[in-house]
């Protein structure tokens, strides 16, 4: 299989790297570059930089670096070709690959297109069809306006066997591929969802990938189902090539902006809760889609915000596996909090009855450990010494689950205070529980060693003038181009970089070429330089200053060679002395009114030297 270099270049050029990375990570513009939290390692202060013009990213924390293609490869665990295809799709570029490579991609596109059509069709039915009246009434009764229904593209699946598959003429492959339907025993096409309110699920780039269907509450005027079967309240699309439950978060496509702005993400249990948060002025809510909150969700969320608020019903939140929550907090450097929802109420109800209360519940969310402790303490009978001791035991068990001894001790004092017990009496208990956990422990997976696959810069510090020169060359090629030559760079790596850049190829291609020829360190230094911030606009005086510095170091190196040749007897003392004197004189003249001539002379001298001593 082959994608031509020109097509790869075309895909790169068509992909705005800032827009691409923003689908996963919040980027902020600082000066000429964009920065954000690195998606490849957990961090709380941004060390991830993006250069929009050159299409490069670099992380000063874990040294992850690359272009649009590398980014997609690492984020989605794709190989090179898959990543190029994905970006080509995204940019609407038709690749001329060989015939074997196309089908999977083509199938994906077909499924996405079919899903989009289905979502439109369901939506249209909800808005306009007479049979959707009960659905519209239900939405209104839950405080969901027509405007909201349009924003979330809500839909209605009519109470018919094959309305969708028939109208949209979906074949079996499309029906099963999208999960929108199937072929039944009587060999007839059948819709998967019927008489249900439809909540379409989009990926973070806003493409429809699945649907969730909710039944309406039973109509008291209508007879129950003849077979007496009770249907599940929610029915979601199955896993397909375009839909992974583990990775999807409902409404992330709409919530992204506010999540980034607020640094907070609210996780709900259901679609209507999410919609309620949007309605109450907190458009930063998402929901898992028919699966528990897991590792992959955290990987996605930590790229957008570090404060994760669970807006679950208290009992449900209490059931979250504490061990994994603490592990995710540590591994992804996020804070998991629990909203203080009034007992027995869900966000959707609360938004209708008391929107201010809903806002308060988020504003006063407490750390997960605090929430778990409060539950133990609130349920306790503290009026007798025995009750207090029993409560203390239970609280110490909860405390012991937390991996940090320091954190445990902070909360321990709080518990001791509330139970009127001595902290010193509780410490041995919590230590006991921590050593011998009584509950089922989720095996502690070590954080993935992602960094091991990355290159490291191995050599010592780079000479400053050379780095400055390369930076100038990258950002001001016009002014710098004529003033620099490879001989100015005494550091070999810097010289390789310069020679690559001097070819005039785009930086990404220069980096590729360096990597291909095994110059990994040069590739890495360049990857970093290209996202480096310039603290101000440079002028031609700056170029002159950098040229002088570079020349001084290059000339110093040249003079040392002359001295060596003198010792070796390759040149006569007279010639050596004259050369040294001439060169030093000209170095002295740099940055004076005669600088221009001196620069030219020194440049010629360096050029002739490099010819004689290759
Ligand atoms: Zn990083």
Whether residue 63 is contained in a domain is answered as yes
- For residue 586, what is the domain's CATH number? 1.10.860
The mean-pLDDT minimum among 258-267, 312-321, 525-534, 580-589 falls in 312-321
126 and 198 within one domain: yes
Given a cut of 60, whether residue 44 has pLDDT beyond it is yes
- Output the CA 46–ligand 1 centroid distance in Å: 9
Same domain, 528 and 417: no
Same domain flag for 274 and 334: yes
**By the 8 A CB rule, do 511 and 57 touch?**
no
Domain assignment present for 363: yes
Tell me, in angstroms, the distance from the centre of ligand 1 to residue 499's CA. Answer: 28
E strand or H helix that includes residue 594: none
Name the domain boundary from 188, 207, 236: 236
Name every residue whose Cβ is closer than 8 Å to that of residue 568 and which is 6 or more positions away in sequence: none
Ligand 1 centre to CA of 40 (Å) is: 5
Average pLDDT over residues 405-416: 91
Residues 554, 471 share a domain: yes
Total tally of structural domains belonging to the chain: 5
My answer on whether 477 and 604 are in the same domain is yes
Residue 450 lies inside a defined structural domain of this protein: no
- Ligand 1 centroid from CA 67, angstroms: 14
Could you list the residue range(s) of the whole structural domain that residue 173 is in?
114-218+232-236
pLDDT confidence of 460, banded at 50, 70, 90? Answer: low
pLDDT tops 60 at residue 141: yes
Residues 363 and 260 grouped into a single domain: yes
For residue 505, the CA-to-ligand 1 centroid distance in Å is 27
pLDDT for 440 equals 36
Pair 326, 415 in one domain:
no
- 113-122, 180-189, 513-522, range with the lowest pLDDT: 513-522
CATH code (residue 181)? 3.90.980.10
- Sort strands 48-51 and 56-59 into parallel, antiparallel or unpaired: antiparallel
Note whether 18 and 34 are within 8 A (CB): yes
Q: How far is the CA of 302 from the centre of ligand 1 (A)?
A: 13
Helical pair 520-529 and 492-502, crossing angle rounded to 10 deg:
70
The answer to whether the pTM exceeds 0.75 is no
Query: Among all chains, which residue has been given the structure tokens 């070429």?
Result: 513
Domain membership of residue 440 (yes or no) is: no
Same domain, 362 and 384: no
Q: Which CATH number characterizes residue 343's domain?
A: 3.40.1360.10
For the ranges 374-388, 422-436, 573-587, 600-614, which has the lowest average pLDDT? 600-614
Q: Count CB neighbours of 223 within 10 A.
A: 7
Question: Of the spans 216-225, 243-252, 324-333, 456-465, which averages the highest pLDDT?
Answer: 243-252
How remote is the CA of residue 441 from the centroid of ligand 1, in Å? 30
Residue 9: inside a domain, yes or no? yes
Say if residue 410's pLDDT is above 50: yes
Residue with tokens 């010289």: 495
The pLDDT of 84-107, averaged and rounded, is 76
* Residue where one domain finishes, among candidates 91, 125, 151: 91
pLDDT in tens, 252-264: 999 988 888 888 9
Q: Show Cβ contacts of residue 555 under 8 Å, excluding neighbours closer than 6 positions.
A: 583, 587, 602, 605, 606
Are residues 344 and 385 both part of a single domain?
no
Residue 129 has pLDDT above 80, yes or no: yes
Q: Are residues 512 and 587 in the same domain?
A: yes
Q: State the first-to-last Cα distance of the chain, in angstroms, to the nearest integer.
A: 42
Residues 479-496: tens digit of each pLDDT: 777 788 888 888 888 999
Give the separation between CA 596 and CA 544, rounded to whole angstroms: 9
Tell whether 599 and 485 lie within a shared domain.
yes
| Residue 539 within any structural domain of the chain | yes
Residues 484 and 594 in one domain: yes
How large a percentage of the chain has pLDDT more than 90? 31
Q: How far is the CA of 14 from the centre of ligand 1 (A)?
A: 25
- Residue 449 covered by a domain: no
Q: Which of 206, 236, 266 is the last residue of a domain?
A: 236
On whether residue 256 sits in a domain, the answer given is yes
Q: Which residue bears the tokens 């029993």?
A: 390
Give the number of other CB atoms < 10 A from CB of residue 41. Answer: 20
Q: Which residue has the higher pLDDT, 529 or 216?
A: 216
pLDDT > 80? residue 610: no
Distance (Å) from CA 59 to ligand 1 centroid: 5
CATH number, position 83: 3.90.580.10
pLDDT at 154 (0 to 100):
97
Q: Give the distance (Å) from ligand 1 centre to CA of residue 168.
A: 46
Report the separation in Å between the CA atom of 61 and the middle of ligand 1, taken as the mean of its atom positions.
5
Give the distance (Å) from ligand 1 centre to CA of residue 366: 29
Which one of 77-86, 211-220, 241-250 scores highest in mean pLDDT?
241-250
Listing DSSP states for 500-527 in one string gives: HHHTT--HHHHHHHHHHTT-HHHHHHHH
């Amino acid at each position: 299989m082959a994608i031509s270099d020109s097509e790869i270049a075309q895909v790169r050029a068509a992909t705005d790297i800032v827009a691409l990375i923003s689908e996963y990570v919040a980027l902020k513009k600082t000066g000429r570059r964009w920065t954000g939290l690195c998606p490849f390692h957990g961090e709380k202060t941004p060390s991830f930089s993006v250069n929009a013009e050159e299409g490069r990213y670099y992380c000063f924390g874990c040294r992850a670096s690359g272009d649009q293609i590398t980014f997609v490869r690492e984020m989605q665990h794709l190989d090179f070709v898959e990543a190029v295809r994905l970006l080509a799709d995204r940019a609407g570029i038709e690749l001329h690959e060989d015939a074997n490579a196309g089908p999977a991609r083509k199938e994906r596109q077909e499924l996405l297109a079919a899903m989009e059509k289905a979502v439109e069709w369901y939506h249209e039915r909800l808005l306009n069809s007479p049979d959707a009246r009960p659905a519209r009434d239900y939405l209104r009764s839950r405080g969901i306006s027509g405007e909201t229904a349009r924003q979330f593209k809500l839909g209605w699946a009519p109470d018919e066997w094959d309305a969708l598959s028939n109208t949209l003429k979906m074949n079996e492959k499309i029906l099963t591929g999208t999960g929108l339907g199937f072929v039944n025993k009587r060999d007839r096409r059948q819709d998967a969802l019927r008489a249900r309110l439809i909540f379409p699920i989009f990926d973070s780039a806003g493409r429809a990938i699945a649907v969730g269907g909710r039944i309406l509450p039973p109509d008291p005027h209508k007879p129950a189902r003849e077979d007496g079967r009770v249907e599940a309240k929610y029915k979601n699309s199955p896993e397909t090539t375009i839909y992974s439950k583990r990775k999807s978060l409902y409404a992330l496509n709409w919530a992204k902006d506010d999540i980034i702005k607020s640094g907070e993400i609210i996780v709900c249990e259901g679609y209507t809760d999410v919609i309620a948060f949007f309605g109450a002025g907190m458009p930063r809510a998402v929901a898992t889609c028919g699966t528990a909150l897991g590792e992959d969700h955290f990987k996605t969320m930590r790229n957008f915000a570090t404060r994760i608020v669970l807006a679950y019903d208290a009992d449900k939140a209490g059931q979250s596996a504490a061990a994994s929550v603490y592990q995710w907090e540590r591994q992804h450097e996020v804070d998991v909090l629990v909203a203080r929802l009034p007992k027995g109420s869900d966000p959707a109800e609360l938004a209708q009855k008391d929107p201010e209360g809903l806002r308060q519940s988020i504003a006063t969310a407490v750390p997960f450990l605090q929430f778990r402790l409060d539950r133990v303490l609130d349920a306790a009978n503290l009026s007798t010494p025995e009750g207090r001791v029993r409560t203390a035991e239970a609280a110490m068990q909860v405390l012991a689950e937390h991996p940090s001894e320091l954190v445990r001790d902070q909360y321990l004092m709080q518990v001791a205070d509330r139970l009127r017990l001595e902290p010193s009496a509780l410490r041995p208990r919590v230590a006991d529980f921590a050593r011998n956990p009584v509950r089922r422990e989720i095996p502690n997976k070590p954080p993935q060693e992602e960094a091991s696959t990355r290159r490291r810069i191995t050599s010592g510090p780079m000479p400053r003038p050379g780095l400055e020169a390369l930076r100038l060359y990258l950002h001001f090629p016009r002014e710098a181009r004529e003033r620099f030559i490879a001989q100015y760079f005494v550091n070999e790596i810097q010289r390789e970089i310069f020679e690559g850049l001097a070819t005039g190829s785009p930086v990404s291609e220069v980096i590729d070429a360096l990597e291909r020829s095994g110059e990994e360190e040069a590739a890495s230094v360049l990857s970093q330089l290209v996202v480096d911030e310039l603290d101000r606009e440079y002028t031609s005086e700056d170029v002159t200053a950098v040229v002088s510095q570079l020349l001084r170091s290059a000339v110093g190196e040249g003079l040392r060679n002359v001295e060596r040749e003198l010792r070796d007897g390759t040149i006569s003392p007279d010639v050596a002395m004259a050369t040294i004197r001439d060169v030093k004189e000209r170095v002295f003249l740099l940055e004076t009114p005669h600088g221009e001539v001196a620069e030219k002379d020194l440049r010629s001298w360096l050029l002739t030297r490099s010819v004689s001593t290759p």
